[in-house]
Chain A
């Protein structure tokens, strides 16, 4: 493999790092006729854009730090695909599509649906993103996380979209409308439920964003605290404290709203059961954002980003 030529705007240490990633990418995914200078410029441009969007000045130390953290090996393949270099897309599909298919099945997608989403992925990714800078949707991958993680997000969003398009049967109507109940009792129950709904809404409003994420992930998705810790960028013990604080807030608010004395819940597990249902429903019926449509669904933040 020819030795990569020097990039004029890179610090020597950063250039060495990128040269290593370039070589590692070639070793892992195959050698494509990709000039190093183009690759380095691409990586640098992504890092600079990312920093600017986060409001961080793209000073040399910041650029170096972000370059060091970047998945620059994956970026090599993504750029080769974006440039349409021979063999690049073949390498991409061979390396990633089986894993994406497995991920979708693991996420509960039926085999047929998993296959459909996986098979349509290359076509979606090779299409133009409708923005400047990249030729394909895959070219919008900026290397800040792993390429597989990026594809997983794309595929899981597609799965969520498919699930919304094929709604699951709900059990709510039969629960909410017990046919053989005394009408007076039913009215009383609905009124009580309304009160409780208000209490829950009020309780949810008292939570911070972190607490909402922690509660939703814990009681809605049943995620481990280690996973929540990754999301929140903290350690698992800190997640425990966040959850404890959130549950205490919810309990206090509900007690106050329903006119109970503080701590009237028999035990925390009851409240957690309810929370599990609440946030589970939230996940099943996503919040504020309308379901993405068409190609936007694959990378629907990119339009905003660019």
Chain B
């Protein structure tokens, strides 16, 4: 006999199939109890009982129907939960995008800051300074190292006159500081005068070179004493003079500087010279800052932060060396770009 043709009577075929299904009454056995069906519907059935329950459900339409209905409820709840999860996932995506945007912004800002700050050692300097402030607020309260832009900004010189008086300038520690100034062409002898703040002479002397020790027979500087140093000479180009004020630091200031140096050396030994120099110049101790920077540069030649800080000091001193140093720094910056 030919097989049935669906095209002829598909509806009848289905009805026959339905009849066949109704007749397919396999032995399902006794139905599981309600607790077992709930476990099946809620997916918490023990693995040891699963096979038995599946065997029954495969044969019992009633149990399969009720279990499927309850499982559908569970699934709807789960799907509703999935909806919540999807909403949460969307929120998480938006949050992630925001975080990514913020990260990019921060990276850009950091890059910008880095560009402004300069070398890596400068970042380290900032971090170390912050650490010092945190750990020793008594000594370092308000201390902020000079940033790249500040270091390179042209500063107002502390000098008066055409020649730079290199020392003493600013605050000095010694009670008999040595005097040092720049040479000038054609000057064979310099007239050196140290005046009190009120203009009365403290002492005066003559020097043939550009260095003169504080005369032993002269009165030493009293703490907090403010003075003016004048150096005058006749050179090839006419009168050459250097003039700058200085003061002797109070004992408390000196003690604070020494304490700061000790702290810096113990807390941030890797940056001790730079940090101390920056701290000293912030306090007005230009000579100590300059000495520390030169010592550092002798150990780490070309250190950008040290050179820029030294430039800041030399600018304030009005030293000729500042011009050469600035040119070198500018040249290096040009190569970096």
Please determine whether chains A and B interact with each other in the same assembly.
Answer: yes
Residues of A within 8 A of B (CB): 50-51, 53-56, 69, 103, 107, 140-142, 144-146, 149-150, 152-154, 156-157, 160, 171-172, 175-176, 178, 188-189, 191-197, 200-201, 204, 207-210, 212-213, 216-217, 221, 223-224, 226-228, 230-233, 258-260, 270, 273-274, 277-289, 291-292, 298-302, 304-305
Q: Mark B1-39, 1 if CB is under 8 A from A, else 0.
A: 111111011011111111111111111111111111111
Interface-located stretch among B59-67, B184-192, B258-266, B267-275: B59-67
Does B75 have its Cβ within 8 Å of any Cβ on chain A?
A: yes
Assess A289 versus B68: contact at CB under 8 Å? Given A209-B54, A282-B24, A301-B31.
Answer: no
Q: How far is the CB of A225 from chain B (nearest CB, A)?
A: 10
B48 touches A54 (CB 8 A): yes
B65 touches A200 (CB 8 A): no
Assess A300 versus B16: contact at CB under 8 Å? Given A213-B64, A281-B22, A287-B60.
Answer: no
Please name all residues of chain A whose beta carbon is closer than 8 Å to the beta carbon of B69 when the two chains form the complex.
Answer: 103, 107, 152, 156
A-B contact pairs, 12 of them (CB 8 A): A176-B16, A193-B15, A196-B16, A196-B17, A197-B17, A230-B74, A278-B20, A284-B61, A288-B25, A288-B60, A289-B29, A299-B33
Please name all residues of chain A whose beta carbon is closer than 8 Å to the beta carbon of B36 when the two chains form the complex.
Answer: 301, 305
B57 touches A189 (CB 8 A): no
Does B195 have its Cβ within 8 Å of any Cβ on chain A?
A: no
Q: Closest A-chain residue to B67, C-beta based? A: A231
Q: Mark B103-120, 1 if CB is under 8 A from A, else 0.
A: 000000000000000000
Q: How far is the CB of A61 from chain B (nearest CB, A)?
A: 14
Please name all residues of chain B whose beta carbon is closer than 8 Å to the beta carbon of A213 when the two chains form the complex.
Answer: 54, 57-58, 64
A258 touches B3 (CB 8 A): yes
Q: How far is the CB of A5 from chain B (nearest CB, A)?
A: 28
A193 touches B4 (CB 8 A): yes
Q: Closest A-chain residue to B5, C-beta based? A: A192
Please name all residues of chain A whose beta carbon is closer than 8 Å to the beta carbon of B79 when the two chains form the complex.
Answer: 226
Please name all residues of chain A whose beta carbon is closer than 8 Å to the beta carbon of B45 when the two chains form the complex.
Answer: 233
Name the residue among A145, A152, A226, A291 with the largest chain B CB count within 10 angstroms.
A145
B18 touches A277 (CB 8 A): yes
A286 touches B13 (CB 8 A): no
A223 touches B72 (CB 8 A): yes
Does B49 have its Cβ within 8 Å of any Cβ on chain A?
A: yes
B42 touches A146 (CB 8 A): yes
Does B153 have its Cβ within 8 Å of any Cβ on chain A?
A: no
Q: How far is the CB of B59 from chain A (nearest CB, A)?
A: 5
| Cα–Cα distance between A258 and B57 once the two chains are bound (Å) | 29
Assess A233 versus B50: contact at CB under 8 Å? Given A146-B42, A299-B34.
Answer: yes
Interface residues of B in 169-190 (CB under 8 A from A): none
Q: Closest B-chain residue to A270, C-beta based? A: B6
A195 touches B1 (CB 8 A): yes
Does B55 have its Cβ within 8 Å of any Cβ on chain A?
A: yes
Give the size category of B's interface with A.
35 or more
Query: How many pairs of residues, A versus B, come closer than 8 Å at their CB atoms?
Result: 261
Please name all residues of chain A whose beta carbon is closer than 8 Å to the beta carbon of B29 when the two chains form the complex.
Answer: 288-289
| Cα–Cα distance between A116 and B326 once the two chains are bound (Å) | 99
Does B73 have its Cβ within 8 Å of any Cβ on chain A?
A: yes
- The contact of B35 among A56, A103, A142, by CB within 8 Å, is A142
Please name all residues of chain A whose beta carbon is closer than 8 Å to the beta carbon of B54 when the two chains form the complex.
Answer: 209-210, 213, 232
Please name all residues of chain B whose beta carbon is closer than 8 Å to the beta carbon of A176 when the two chains form the complex.
Answer: 12, 15-16, 19
Please name all residues of chain A whose beta carbon is closer than 8 Å to the beta carbon of B72 when the two chains form the complex.
Answer: 223-224, 227
Q: Closest B-chain residue to A171, C-beta based? A: B15
B33 touches A304 (CB 8 A): yes
| Cα–Cα distance between A142 and B66 once the two chains are bound (Å) | 19
Please name all residues of chain A whose beta carbon is closer than 8 Å to the beta carbon of B63 when the two chains form the complex.
Answer: 289
Please name all residues of chain A whose beta carbon is closer than 8 Å to the beta carbon of B46 when the two chains form the complex.
Answer: 50-51, 54, 56
- The contact of A301 among B13, B17, B19, B37, by CB within 8 Å, is B37
| Cα–Cα distance between A145 and B42 once the two chains are bound (Å) | 7
| Cα–Cα distance between A287 and B32 once the two chains are bound (Å) | 14
| Cα–Cα distance between A271 and B180 once the two chains are bound (Å) | 108
- The contact of A260 among B3, B39, B59, B68, by CB within 8 Å, is B3
Assess A160 versus B62: contact at CB under 8 Å? Given A144-B39, A153-B37, A231-B41.
Answer: yes
| Cα–Cα distance between A226 and B18 once the two chains are bound (Å) | 26
Assess A156 versus B66: contact at CB under 8 Å? Given A56-B46, A274-B14, A281-B18.
Answer: yes
A153 touches B3 (CB 8 A): no
A153 touches B66 (CB 8 A): yes
Please name all residues of chain B whose beta carbon is closer than 8 Å to the beta carbon of A298 when the two chains form the complex.
Answer: 34
Does B126 have its Cβ within 8 Å of any Cβ on chain A?
A: no
Q: How far is the CB of A223 from chain B (nearest CB, A)?
A: 5
A149 touches B61 (CB 8 A): no
Name the residue among A171, A197, A208 with the largest chain B CB count within 10 angstroms.
A197
Given pairs A140-B34, A228-B71, A288-B59, 16 additional interface contacts (CB within 8 A): A107-B69, A140-B35, A141-B34, A152-B69, A210-B54, A212-B58, A223-B71, A223-B72, A227-B75, A258-B4, A274-B13, A278-B20, A282-B22, A283-B61, A287-B25, A289-B62
Please name all residues of chain A whose beta carbon is closer than 8 Å to the beta carbon of B6 when the two chains form the complex.
Answer: 270
Does B43 have its Cβ within 8 Å of any Cβ on chain A?
A: yes
A191 touches B1 (CB 8 A): yes
| Cα–Cα distance between A142 and B67 once the two chains are bound (Å) | 17
Assess A259 versus B3: contact at CB under 8 Å? Given A200-B17, A201-B20, A224-B75.
Answer: yes
